[in-house]
Amino acid sequence: MPEGDTVFQVAAQLHTALAGNILIESDFRVPRFAAVDLTGETVEEVVARGKHILVRLPQHTFHSHLMMDGQWHVYGRGTRWRKPGFRARAVLGTERVQAVGFDLGIVEVLPRETEADAIGHLGPDLLGPDWDPVVAAGNLMREPERPIGLALLDQRIMAGVGNVYRSELCFLRGVDPATPVREAGDPTAWAELAHRVLHANRNRTPRVTTGDLRRGRQLWVYGRRGTPCLRCGRPIESGTLADPSDVERAERVVYRCPGCQPPR
């Protein structure tokens, strides 16, 4: 499941493959941008901004988002793709490589000067140069009655936390995800913990929050419904938190330990 650390790794891979090279191929397989041609432009850099990927060229920014199912693959030129072509949404090619985005949730090409239109709403990036825990904490407290388990997913507060880290952060703080932000403890501590956990996983696969690299013991609660808590032994529970403003977010399952995260 793509989260801030995964997107950071993908952007780094694309940067290594494309930065400093001239595009000899650009193919955007969405109607709005199908006629856009970036060939002849040099890729300056590829960066992650929260869960967004920005390919920056002198005049344009190519913006993509993996959403739930998207992937970027890098192939040596002439190498057969590992996924069928009809699932490709964007192709960027140099003399040596092809970068192919499959099942991307967002594909758009923007004038470089309007890049902020796509990402300006985001809070501080947990893995970016703009990271600021004080700003993130202030953002978190804007809606003090909101459940902490919903606030953590709001990219306007801080960019990079997804469903896995939402559950893991709540466990590490010993807080039921349904707890209102105002009762969940120091907001700066939440921001700083999120930064530490994502930063520790920015170059690691698979992600680990327990410090234990053994299979089945890498995460405290996420995906472990019915199995014993690694700390207290109680069975892990799962459920949902309703967010009327975001149907997609409302459908995501949240995990908790009833012993380590008692309701308040």
Q: In CATH, what number is assigned to the domain containing residue 115?
A: 3.20.190.10
Based on the fold, state whether residues 151 and 107 are members of the same structural domain. no
Based on the fold, state whether residues 186 and 217 are members of the same structural domain. yes
User: 48 near 97, Cβ under 8 Å?
Assistant: no
Based on the fold, state whether residues 142 and 243 are members of the same structural domain. yes
User: 45 near 12, Cβ under 8 Å?
Assistant: no
Residue 230 belongs to some domain of the structure: yes
Q: What is the CATH number of the domain that holds 244?
A: 1.10.8.50
Based on the fold, state whether residues 83 and 168 are members of the same structural domain. no
Based on the fold, state whether residues 102 and 148 are members of the same structural domain. no
User: 168 near 162, Cβ under 8 Å?
Assistant: no
Interatomic CA distance for residues 235 and 231, integer angstroms? 11
Based on the fold, state whether residues 14 and 106 are members of the same structural domain. yes
Nearest to 114 by CA among 25, 67, 54: 54
Q: DSSP string covering 18-51, please?
A: HTT-B-SEEEE-SGGGTT---TTPBP-EEEEETT
Nearest to 195 by CA among 262, 133, 122: 133
Based on the fold, state whether residues 92 and 172 are members of the same structural domain. no
* Statement: residue 187 has pLDDT above 90: yes
2, 147, 177, 187: the catalytic one is 2
3, 124, 133, 187: the catalytic one is 3
Based on the fold, state whether residues 159 and 216 are members of the same structural domain. yes
Exposure of 32 in the CB half-sphere (CA atoms within 13 A):
5
Domain interval for residue 144: 133-256
Based on the fold, state whether residues 147 and 59 are members of the same structural domain. no
**Residue 248 banded pLDDT, cuts 50, 70, 90:** very low
pLDDT for residue 2: 83
Q: Give the count of domains, the chain.
A: 2
Residue 124 belongs to some domain of the structure: no
pLDDT for residue 242: 74
Which of these three, 87, 119, 151, is where a domain ends?
119
Which of these three, 97, 119, 141, is where a domain ends?
119
- When mean pLDDT is compared across 48-52, 213-217, 254-258, the lowest value belongs to 213-217
Q: Which residue has the tokens 């892990």?
A: 236
Interatomic CA distance for residues 41 and 39, integer angstroms? 6
Residue 263 belongs to some domain of the structure: no
Whether 108 sits among the annotated catalytic residues: the reply is: no
The model's pTM is 0.93
Whether 145 sits among the annotated catalytic residues: the reply is: no
Residue 262 belongs to some domain of the structure: no
Whether 2 sits among the annotated catalytic residues: the reply is: yes
Residue 78, burial from CB neighbour count under 10 angstroms (0-12, 13-18, 19+): exposed
* Statement: residue 240 has pLDDT above 70: yes
Residue 128 belongs to some domain of the structure: no
pLDDT for residue 245: 59
Based on the fold, state whether residues 103 and 19 are members of the same structural domain. yes
Give pLDDT tens digits for 52-79: 999 999 999 999 999 999 999 999 999 9
Residue 127 belongs to some domain of the structure: no
In the chain, what is the greatest distance between 2 CA atoms, to the nearest angstrom? 59
Based on the fold, state whether residues 180 and 205 are members of the same structural domain. yes
Residue 125 belongs to some domain of the structure: no
25, 51, 177, 258: the catalytic one is 51
Give pLDDT tens digits for 104-143: 999 999 999 999 999 999 999 999 999 999 999 999 999 9
Nearest to 85 by CA among 76, 73, 94, 97: 73
More confident of the two residues 248 and 81: 81
Based on the fold, state whether residues 17 and 102 are members of the same structural domain. yes
**DSSP secondary structure code for residue 220 in this structure:** S
| Mean pLDDT across 205-234 | 96
